[in-house]
Amino acid sequence: MKIALMMENSQAGKNPMILEQLNAVAAPLNHDVYNVGMSDDNDHHLTYIHLGIMASLLLNSNAVDFVVSGCGTGQGSMMSLNAHPGVLCGYCLEPSDAFLFNQINNGNAIAMAFAKGFGWAAELNARYIFEKAFTGPRGEGYPVERKEPQVRNAGILNQVKAAITKDNYLDTLKAIDQELVKTAVTGERFQACFFENGQSPEIEAYVRSLL
């Protein structure tokens, strides 16, 4: 699995800690981690709005399989990511959130709070969230006797989102302020992940046109 970690400006200083915890879980599972957001306070400036654009590009081009995002509360990141086609982002404050999102919703992104409630043993909480997000089966429901309706409803939700975002994916991006999109794709680490792993020539051509 290819996993993208993206953090915005308000919590960029915590990126080394979060990246360390994510790698500690991902490496033994043979997952590849791409640190595509801000790595410190002086890095290429991003807001949670940019994170949504970045996540949608990476997921819709199949450059990555999963996105870990976050901001101060996690709410802005979750809303920003979920605004885009092809992105199903859950809100994770604790390990049980990641487990239930994995089992019930089976999405492709999570949003975490890197300021609210981020105190003593925060690094352990982050690691345990990652453990629950990336280990074990997915989409099997919880509790097990609820598997059938939960799997059915998750599929229906995917269909609803596809229906309300039925425009061509690139048309949705082109309808956004292009300076926002350009800022989102300008980071060197994002570009490395996107261009090396992306599988959509059409999306790649659009990103190159911005650059």
| pLDDT at residue number 147 | 81
State residue 135 phi and psi, 5-degree precision: -120, 155
Q: How far apart are CA 151 and CA 102, in angstroms?
A: 11
Amino acid, single-letter form, for residue 74: G
Q: What does the pLDDT read at residue 105?
A: 92
Per-residue burial over 55-78, b = 16 or more CB atoms within 10 Å of its CB, e = otherwise? bbbbbbbebbebbbbbbbbbebbb
What is the spatial order of strands in the sheet that 66-71 belongs to?
32-35, 2-7, 66-71, 109-113, 89-92
- Distance of alpha carbon 141 from alpha carbon 101, whole angstroms: 9
Q: Is residue 138 helix, strand or coil?
A: coil
Where are the domains positioned within the chain? 2-210
In tens digits, the chain (211 residues) has pLDDT values of 999 999 999 999 999 999 999 999 999 999 999 999 999 999 999 999 999 999 999 999 999 999 999 999 999 999 999 999 999 999 999 999 999 999 999 999 999 999 999 999 999 999 999 999 999 888 888 888 888 888 888 888 888 888 877 678 999 999 999 999 999 999 999 999 999 999 999 999 999 999 9
Q: Give the pLDDT score at 191.
A: 98
Fold of 2-210: Ribose 5-phosphate Isomerase B; Chain: A, (3.40.1400)
Instruction: Please state, in angstroms and rounded to a whole number, the distance separating the CA atoms of residues 209 and 211.
Output: 5
- At 149 the pLDDT is 87
**In whole angstroms, what is the distance from residue 63 CA to residue 50 CA?**
17
